[in-house]
Amino acid sequence: MHPFDYIQPGSVAEAVGLMRDTADARFLAGGMTLIPVMKQRLAAPSLLIDLARLAELRAISAKGGTLTIGALARHAAVAESPVVQARIPALASLAAGIGDAQVRNRGTIGGSLANNDPVADYPAAMLALGARIRTDRRCIDADAFFTGMFATALEPDEMIIQVEVPVPEAAAYQKFEQPASHYAVAGVMVAKAADGVRVAVTGAGSGVFRMPAMEAALADDFTPAAITGIAVPADGLNADLHASAEYRAHLVTVLAGRAVAAAMGRS
Ligand X SMILES: Cc1cc2nc3c(=O)[nH]c(=O)nc-3n(C[C@H](O)[C@H](O)[C@H](O)COP(=O)(O)OP(=O)(O)OC[C@H]3O[C@@H](n4cnc5c(N)ncnc54)[C@H](O)[C@@H]3O)c2cc1C
Binding residues for other proteins, rule: CB under 8 A, are: 1-6, 28, 31-32, 35-36, 38-40, 48, 50, 52, 76, 99-103, 105-106, 180-182
Sign of CA pseudo-dihedral 31, 34, 36, 39: negative
Minimum Å distance from CB 243 to other proteins?
Answer: 20
Residue among 122 and 222 whose Cβ is closer to ligand X: 122
Query: Is residue 116 close enough to count as binding ligand X by CB under 6 A?
Result: no
155 phi and psi angles, rounded to 5 deg: -75, 160
Which of 9, 111, 224, 257 touches ligand X (CB under 6 A)?
111
Question: What's the CA gap between 198 and 177, in Å, rounded?
Answer: 22
Asked if residue 37 lies in contact with residue 75, where contact means CB atoms within 8 angstroms, the answer is no
Q: CA dist 118 to 82, 202, 227, Å?
A: 29, 6, 24
Which of 34, 90, 92, 126 touches ligand X (CB under 6 A)?
34
E strand or H helix at 50, and its extent?
strand 47-50
Question: What's the CA gap between 250 and 258, in Å, rounded?
Answer: 13
Asked if residue 117 lies in contact with residue 37, where contact means CB atoms within 8 angstroms, the answer is no
> Which one of the spans 103-111, 203-211, 236-244, 245-253 is the region binding ligand X (CB under 6 A)?
103-111
- Residue 115, binding choice from other proteins, ligand X, none, Cβ under 5 to 8 Å by partner class: ligand X
- Residue 226, binding choice from ligand X, other proteins, none, Cβ under 5 to 8 Å by partner class: none
Query: Is residue 176 close enough to count as binding ligand X by CB under 6 A?
Result: no
Which of 90, 129, 133, 159 touches ligand X (CB under 6 A)?
159
- The burial of 139, by beta-carbon neighbours within 10 Å (0-12 exposed, 13-18 middle, 19 or more buried), is given as exposed
Question: What's the CA gap between 193 and 171, in Å, rounded?
Answer: 9
Minimum Å distance from CB 59 to other proteins?
Answer: 18
Non-local (6+) Cβ contacts of 233 within 8 A are 249
Site track for ligand X across 184-223, x = CB under 6 A: ----------------------------------------
Residue among 58 and 250 whose Cβ is closer to ligand X: 58
- Residue 41, binding choice from ligand X, other proteins, none, Cβ under 5 to 8 Å by partner class: none
> Which one of the spans 102-110, 124-132, 215-223, 243-251 is the region binding ligand X (CB under 6 A)?
102-110
Asked if residue 151 lies in contact with residue 239, where contact means CB atoms within 8 angstroms, the answer is no
The footprint of ligand X (CB under 6 A) covers: 26-34, 36, 71, 98-99, 103, 107-108, 110-112, 114-115, 117, 120-122, 159-160, 181-183
